[in-house]
């Protein structure tokens, strides 16, 4: 695992400054006491061993894009305009997924595409707890691998079935207890 949550966000901060004047104008330095997030969780898994920093950065990008979509501000990006937040969120989704595709980890690309879709579904239903469970389970699936229980839990989310958040949590805990193959 990286030394501190803010370390990954500092890498993202520097990366965003290099993305051009539009992003650079709305980016703020990360707080030293930034909370752990899905990027750090995924990067802690054995599936991404040897490429932890890359996974942490790209998942931070995708998660920042998600936060821009649903909170109009991220941990680093604060555009002040909801339309600009959506556009920048899309840009960060694309940057993160592009980096992941470049690593050749198609399983993680599919997983994070599911995370984006299922979290959007949960947000549309007004269920922030479910959206958070989707992110946590997705991060674990990237870091440790998914498995059948994870796929069943995602199906529960798609179908809008009760207990989906709990099923995601159970699948994530089970995945962390086993050693997957490398990405």
Angle in degrees, CA 80, 81, 85, rounded to 5: 95
In a domain, 183, yes or no: no
CA 66-23-41 angle, to 5 degrees, is: 40
pLDDT band at 51 (very low <50, low <70, confident <90, very high): very high
What is the Cα–Cα distance from 8 to 2, expressed in whole angstroms?
8
In a domain, 43, yes or no: yes
Q: Largest alpha-carbon pair distance within the chain?
A: 45
Q: Helix (H, G, I), strand (E, B), or coil: what is residue 137?
A: helix
Residue 18 has pLDDT above 60, yes or no: yes
Number of domains the chain is built from: 1
Any domain includes 94: yes
> Between 125 and 8, whose confidence is greater?
125
> Within a domain: residue 182?
no
- pLDDT, mean of residues 48-77: 92
Provide the pLDDT for residue 169.
Answer: 96
Q: Give me the domain span that covers residue 26.
A: 5-176
Mean pLDDT confidence for 74-82: 90
Q: What is the pLDDT of residue 37?
A: 87
């Amino acid at each position: 695992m990286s030394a501190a949550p803010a370390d990954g966000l500092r890498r993202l901060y520097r990366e965003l400054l290099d993305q051009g004047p539009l992003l650079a104008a709305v980016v703020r330095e990360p707080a030293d006491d930034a909370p752990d997030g899905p990027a750090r969780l995924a990067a802690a898994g054995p599936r991404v061993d040897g490429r932890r920093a890359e996974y942490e950065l790209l998942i931070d990008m995708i998660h920042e894009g998600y936060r821009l979509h649903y909170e109009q501000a991220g941990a680093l990006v604060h555009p002040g305009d909801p339309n600009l937040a959506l556009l920048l969120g899309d840009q960060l989704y694309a940057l993160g997924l592009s980096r992941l595709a470049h690593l050749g980890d198609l399983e993680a690309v599919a997983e994070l595409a599911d995370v984006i879709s299922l979290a959007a579904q949960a947000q549309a239903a007004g269920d922030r707890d479910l959206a958070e469970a989707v992110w946590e389970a997705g991060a674990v699936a990237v870091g440790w691998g998914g498995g059948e229980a994870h796929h069943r839990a995602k199906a529960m989310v798609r179908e809008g079935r009760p207990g989906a958040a709990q099923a995601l949590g159970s699948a994530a805990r089970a995945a962390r207890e086993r050693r997957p193959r490398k990405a």
